[in-house]
Amino acid sequence: MTEINKVIQNKIAIDKLNLFYGKFQALISVSMPVQEKMITALIGPSGCGKSTLLRSLNRMNDLIHGVKITGSVLLDEIDIYNSSLEVAELRKRVGMVFQRPNPFPLSIYENVVYGLRVAGIRNKKESDEIAEKSLRGAWLWDQVKDKLDHPALELPLDQQQRLVIARLLAVQPEVILMDEPCSALDPIATMKIEELMIELKKDYTIVIVTHNMQQASRVSDFTGYMLMGEMIEFNQTKNIFTNPSKKLTEDYISGKYG
Amino acid sequence: MRIHPRYTQRGAIAVLGGATLLTLLILAFIIFFILEKGLPGISLSFLTTNPTDMGRAGGIFPTLIGTIILPLLAIIIATPLGIFTSVYLSEYTKENKATRIIRFGTDCLAGIPSIIFGLFGYIFFVVTLGFGWSILSGGLTLAVMILPTIIRTSEEAIRAVPKSYREVSFSLGATSWQTVKKVILPNALPGIVTGIMLSIGRAIGETAAVIFTAGSSLRIPSSVFDSTRTMAVHFYILAREGISAENAYATAATLIIAVLIVNLSAYWLMHRFIAKRS
């Protein structure tokens, strides 16, 4: 591991998770740990269930009609599906960055403070402070500090993606889920986001779904390889990429399919 | 024989452009025709004095009041009801048989001729509830009449708000209601306003439903339980009874100008809101 002195601790523990969209089973008895302040990557071909798995960690699948879930997902030992933990509260702790940069059609500032407004924080000074801190945390402050009142949609795509990361940081999540966060970006912007992820790892637990195997190998500490709804292999990233234990993983890694 | 795409393209442009042009011409012709006949009769005193001799002479002041108050009452009642219903249908219910039946029902209601609403309003508000021929009965009837339009247009506008906005809002810990308030309604506003504008237009121009429920008194109303007469009804009576073609056209011209003013100011307000927001 790159950071041996970090105390390795499970932030999330997924145990025998099954997920059905109507009759179709999208996740088949998936078990996996997510370790605190590490980057965990989920890879696999399209439709393998990696995004579904990601979205089950903050119950975004609840928004889809006809979803049924069995098994458990523990966040700090608390089952997010069978406890008094409110969904809104869960999602503040486990935030999400989506595939397409998706700022609201509001000003840059109003985007960053959206989560605060939702949480009932209206104090101007407090909001300003959190907004600056979040924008700095997403490496965007210097580019936007003089135009906070400009429409967010005027920003270039990569800055929009960092803006939505800032918007997320403002609610002070513990876990950040990233659903192919670079798929709409060019290689340079991608590199920047990857560097940002490694920086964010100091304070946040990150789970990233990616189509890009190089990306998984560059940024992640752990990797899970999924196929047809099953977790085929989960291990430290360097092991997955240099010495996969399953033939299926090896075939995918070496580009035989996917 | 296959016609070369270049010619079919030209044909398409001709047909589509022609249809657009024809529509504009019809609209321009109607407006021109009414204004040409009506504008000479409009003056400040025509707008501000009471009619005399059943409208044969004098102005249209009381009908101006009726035309403002009835649609206003209808909009005040129907807008919140319609928007709340559409939000509930689109954001709080899953798509199932019940919602499909409700949607089908509102579509049917929207297609019912206004005179049926007039009859309903007469039986229910005027007679059963005892409101009599009054502003209240007329406003409620118009509200019922425009409600389906507002529900359907609002629902379309709400559905057109990108799904990703909802996802993001939920992922930041917002509840459904916060998402509706902060993201969905502001973004659906242009569509919702369009629906309300259409409804105001319908309400202002309505005669059948109004005659049955608000009556056609030419006195200036002093409460919502008084009868009133709208410009549309006034125009209808003047023309129908052959009282005064000149005043009928002048009334119609005033009506058209009023609708234009309402529409233009609503669009102006909406664009100001959008500009301010983003």
pLDDT digits 0-9 by tens, A126-173:
999 999 999 999 999 999 999 999 999 999 998 999 999 999 999 999
């998984």: which residue's tokens?
A: A216
CA distance B214 to B273: 35
CATH class of A10-103+175-253: alpha beta
Burial letters B18-54, b for 16+ CB under 10 A, else e: eeeeeeeeeeeeeeeebbebbeebbeeebeeeebeee
Domain map (residue ranges) of chain B = 5-40, 42-277
Residues contacting B266, CB < 8 A, separation 6+:
B193, B196, B197, B200
Mutate to test the interface with B, among A90, A112, A118 (most CBs of B within 10 A): A118
As a whole number, mean pLDDT of residues A70-85 equals 89
CA distance B4 to A69: 57
Asked whether the CA dihedral A144, A146, A148, A151 is positive or negative, the reply is negative
Contact B208, B199 (CB under 8 A): no
ipTM for the predicted complex comes to 0.84
Helix then strand then coil, in percent of chain A rounded to 5, is 35, 25, 35
CA distance A122 to B38: 55
Is residue A207 classed as helix, strand or coil in its secondary structure? strand
> Which among A100, A118, A168 is the nearest to B174, CB-wise?
A118
List chain A residues with CB under 8 Å of B172: 91-92, 95, 114-115, 118, 167-168, 171
CA distance B140 to B78: 9
């560097």: which residue's tokens?
A: A195
Q: CB–CB of B183 and A65 under 8 A? A: no
Q: CB–CB of B168 and A102 under 8 A? A: yes
CA distance B126 to B133: 6
Mutate to test the interface with B, among A104, A164, A176 (most CBs of B within 10 A): A104
Q: Which pLDDT score, from 0 to 100, does residue A223 have? A: 94
Q: CB–CB of A105 and B187 under 8 A? A: yes
Backbone angles phi, psi at A97, to 5 degrees: -115, 130
Of the candidates A61, A9, A1, the residue with the CA atom closest to the CA atom of residue A34: A9
The chain B residue lying nearest A89, using CA atoms, is B173
List chain B residues with CB under 8 Å of A117: 182
Q: CB–CB of B182 and A118 under 8 A? A: yes
Q: Which pLDDT score, from 0 to 100, does residue A258 have? A: 59
Provide the residue count of chain B.
278
CA distance B106 to B66: 28
Of the candidates B151, B154, B148, B146, the residue with the CA atom closest to the CA atom of residue B188: B154
Residues contacting A55, CB < 8 A, separation 6+:
A61, A96, A177, A179
List chain B residues with CB under 8 Å of A55: none
CA distance B175 to B36: 56
Is residue A152 classed as helix, strand or coil in its secondary structure? helix
* A246, pLDDT greater than 70: yes
H helices present in B39-161, as ranges: 44-48, 61-87, 97-110, 114-121, 135-159
The chain B residue lying nearest A56, using CA atoms, is B171
Residue scoring higher pLDDT (A8 or A107): A107
Radius of gyration of chain A measured on its C-alpha atoms: 18
Domain map (residue ranges) of chain A = 10-103+175-253
Q: Which amino acid is at A251?
A: D
Mean pLDDT, chain B cut into blocks of 10 residues (278 residues total) = 86 95 95 92 88 84 92 95 93 85 90 93 95 94 94 93 91 92 92 89 91 90 90 91 89 91 84 74
In the structure, what pLDDT confidence band is assigned to residue A2 with cuts at 50, 70 and 90?
A: very low
* A4, pLDDT greater than 70: no
Is the minimum CB–CB distance between A64 and chain B shorter than 8 Å?
Answer: no
Using N-to-C axis directions, what is the helix angle for B61-87 and B185-205, rounded to 10°? Answer: 140
% of chain A beyond a pLDDT of 70: 96
Q: CB–CB of A107 and B167 under 8 A? A: no
Give CA separation, A158 vs A121, A153, A182, in Å.
28, 11, 9
Q: Which pLDDT score, from 0 to 100, does residue A247 have? A: 85
As a whole number, mean pLDDT of residues A11-18 equals 93
Helix (H) or strand (E) holding A223: strand A222-227
Q: CB–CB of A118 and B278 under 8 A? A: no
Q: Per CATH, is B42-277 categorized as 3.40.50.2020?
A: no
* A7, pLDDT greater than 60: no
Give CA separation, A146 vs A132, A142, A155, in Å.
12, 8, 13
The structure tokens listed for B225 are 């339980």
Q: Which pLDDT score, from 0 to 100, does residue A203 have? A: 93
The chain B residue lying nearest A59, using CA atoms, is B171
> Which among A63, A95, A107 is the nearest to B172, CB-wise?
A95
Mutate to test the interface with A, among B100, B164, B172 (most CBs of A within 10 A): B172
CA distance A102 to B169: 10
Q: Which pLDDT score, from 0 to 100, does residue B277 have? A: 66
Helix (H) or strand (E) holding A194: helix A187-200
Of the candidates B231, A131, A144, the residue with the CA atom closest to the CA atom of residue A152: A144
CA distance A51 to A21: 13
